[in-house]
Structure 1
Amino acid sequence: MLDDNGLRVMELGGKGYCCSQMMVIMALDEMGREDPDLVRAAGGLCNGLGDCSGPCGVLTGSVLALGLYAAKGTDDEEPDDSLPLMLESMRDWFVARTLEYGGTACGDILDGGCGAPHPERCGGLVADANAKVREILVENGLDPAQGRDLS
C-alpha cells in the first residue's frame, strides 16, 4: 500500500512531470508554495540531462530541493553553513541506494534505456529521496515546512 508520499509521486507522474520536477514540487508543497518558473527550470534536468547519460533527475532534483532551503538566493543572504555537508549526504545516500542498478546515471537506473521512467524504480527512488531530503534537513536544524523567507 502506498503512503501519501508515494501517492503524490504517482499523481505528479500522471500529470507528466519528470523526476527532477517532482523533487522540486514536493519540496515546494512542503513549504506551502508554488513556483512554476523553478519547476520549469528543473525540467532541464529531466532524463539525465536529456539523453539519459547524465545524473538521474532524482539526484539533481534532490540537491535543488536542498538548495531551496539552504543556498544563497539574494544579495543579502548567505548560504547555510551546512549546505555542503547536506549535499554530500544526499549524494552518498543516492550512490548507495542505486548500487543495485549499476550507477547513478538515468540510463543505469533505466537499465540502459531512455525515455519513459520505470514506474517502480523511478517512483520508489523519488519517494525515498523525498524522505531523505526531509531527514537531512531536520538533521541540520532546518524545518522542511519553513524554507527560506521570501519577504
Structure 2
Amino acid sequence: MRGDSRMNIHTEDYFHLLELAHQEFSCSQILLQMRLDEQGKEIPELIRAMAGLVGGLGYCGKICGALTSGACLLALYAGKGSAEEVEDSRLNAMIEELVKWFEQEVGSQYGGTDCSIILEENLQNRIQRCPQILLKTNQKVKEILIANGYDLLSGKLEA
C-alpha cells in the first residue's frame, strides 16, 4: 500500500479521488480507477462499464455507487474472469461483509443506502458526503481483501 500510516493513505487517497473527480469521473468509476492506478493497470472498458452504476444506477438515485462499485472491486480480485479461473468461494461472503458494514456505517447515518436518500436531492451533499463515503468504502474494501489474503498490488492471493 502507499504511505506509511493510515493518515497518509487516506490523504493520498483523498487527493487521488479529487484528481479523478477533476477528470470528470464519477463515484463508481473513481473507486475502481483508484485501485487500478495503484496496481499500474489501465482497463478503460471496465471504467466505462462502471458508469452504469454512477448516481445510484445511471443517476436513478437507487443503491449508492460507492457500495455497488465496492462489490465490483471485491469481485475484481476474487471473481472469475476467464474460463481457466475459479471464483474465490468467499466472494459472496466478502460482499455481504461490505454490504452489512455499508448499511451500518452509511445507511444508519443517512437513513438508507440509496443515492437519493444519502444526498437528499441536494448537490451540496454530493460535494460534502460522496468523497468521504468513497474513501471509507475504499478503506473497507482494502481491509476485507487483506483479511482474506489478497495482495492489493498484484491482485492475487498471497501464498
Structure 1 residues 52 and 97, CA, compared in 2 at 3 Å: closer, same or farther?
farther
More helix by share: 2
Does 2:8 correspond to 1:8?
Answer: no
What residue number does 2:90 align with? 82
- Deviations along 1:116-148, one digit per CA (max 9) or x if unpaired, are 871221000111111111100000011111115
Q: Identity rate of aligned residues, in percent? A: 39
Aligned-partner Cα distance in 1 for 2:47–2:59: 19
Query: What is the rounded CA distance, in whole Å, between the counterparts of 1:136 and 1:91 in structure 2?
Result: 12
Contact in 1 for aligned 2:55/2:65 (Cα 8 Å): yes
Q: In structure 2, what is the equivalent of residue 107 of structure 1?
A: 116
Q: Report the counterpart of residue 59 of structure 2 in structure 1.
A: 51
1:141 to 130, 133, 149: 149
Residue of structure 2 equivalent to 1:41? 49
| CA distance 1:116–1:96, change in 2 (3 Å) | same
Distance 1:76 1:116 in 2: 46
For the aligned residues, what is the CA RMSD? Answer: 2.0
1:62, CA displacement in angstroms?
0.6
Structure 1 consecutive aligned stretches of length 4 or more whose deviation exceeds 4 Å: 114-117
Tell me the matched-pair count.
Answer: 148
Contact 1:51–1:114 at 8 Å: present in 2 too? Answer: no
Gap regions ≥5 residues in structure 1: none
1:50 Cα deviation after fit: 2.0
Normalization by structure 1: what TM-score? 0.90
Query: More deviation in 47-56 or 122-131?
Result: 47-56
Letter in 2 for 1:125: I
TM-score w.r.t. the length of structure 2 is: 0.86
